[in-house]
Amino acid sequence: MSDAINTTYPPYSAAEFRRRALQQVGAPIDHAWRDHGDHVLNPDIVAFVETLKLRDAAVLVPVVDDGEEAKVIFTQRTATLRKHSGQISFPGGSIDPDDISPEMAAIRETEEEIGLAGSYVETVGRLPNYLSSTGFRITPVLAVVSRGFSLQPNPTEVADVFEVPLSFLMNPANHNRDKRVVDGIDRHFYRMPYETRMIWGITAGIVRTLYERLYA
């Protein structure tokens, strides 16, 4: 009888997500953002954003360990926020001077926004930065979240919190492309309709990058 550890996981389990994410640790990602997500769709906008002085921010991509079918936590921003009001997003925000890493910032902001305690969060890697035309250099921090947590959304920032199966997000058939005119320029983006929600913009760009880096 073999005592070998079973390393065969269902493809959309949190265990498989962790394995794939950890394989990326140490890989050079400083300039990889140009090759992923909706940055590829918008070379003119990317060239402009590179000339801006960007603020550093971090978001958490929280993958909940739910057996064979992992879930991903999203928030819906309140309608009163100055930027990206009402949109679907990952929890996160600006990196403060006291934050020693993007991981620390992402976990701190997540706890402030939705009350998810850091003791339930295991960070397992990063994606290439997302450069936003709204003036941010965003580091997506990949994490596995253990069940047992309770959430307390901050009502001034978060209108709702919900989960989407990782299998849905990692299916490229659900990655629709769209465009709209912004300041006279065609802005191309991904949108991912899920039930009554529409994931699009920065968040969908990060999801697409996650697919391209880990599951394509």
pLDDT at 35 over 60: yes
* pLDDT, position 4: 53
The answer to the question of residue 202 being in a domain is yes
pLDDT in tens, 184-193: 778 888 999 9
* 153: β partners: none
The answer to the question of residue 1 being in a domain is no
Q: Please classify residue 66 by burial: count the beta carbons closer than 10 Å to its beta carbon, then call 0-12 exposed, 13-18 middle and 19+ buried.
A: middle
Tell me if 63 sits within 8 A of 143, measured CB to CB.
Answer: yes
Closest CA to 58 of 114, 110, 121: 110
Range(s) of the domain holding residue 44? 14-215
Rounded Cα distance between 140 and 103, Å, is: 9
Tell me if 180 sits within 8 A of 66, measured CB to CB.
Answer: no
Span of 15-19, 25-29, 93-97 with lowest mean pLDDT: 25-29
The answer to the question of residue 9 being in a domain is no
* pLDDT, position 84: 54
Q: What is the number of domains present in the chain?
A: 1
Look up the CATH number of the domain holding residue 27: 3.90.79.10
The answer to the question of residue 4 being in a domain is no
Q: What is the mean pLDDT of the chain?
A: 88
Sheet of 185-194: strands edge to edge?
176-182, 185-194, 197-200
Question: Best-predicted range by mean pLDDT among 28-37, 100-109, 131-140?
Answer: 100-109
What stretches of the chain show up as alpha helix (H) in DSSP? Answer: 14-24, 43-49, 102-114, 166-169, 201-210
The answer to the question of residue 45 being in a domain is yes
Confidence of residue 2 (pLDDT cuts 50, 70, 90): very low
Closest CA to 72 of 11, 158, 162, 149: 162
Amino acid letter for position 25 = V
**SS3 labels along 73-124:** EEEEECCCCCCCCCCEECCEEECCCCCCCHHHHHHHHHHHHHCCCHHHEEEE
- Copy the structure tokens of residue 9: 């996981």
- Give the single-character DSSP code of 6: -
The answer to the question of residue 8 being in a domain is no
pLDDT in tens, 142-198: 999 999 999 999 988 899 999 999 999 999 999 999 988 877 778 888 999 999 999
* pLDDT, position 1: 44
pLDDT in tens, 111-125: 999 999 999 999 999
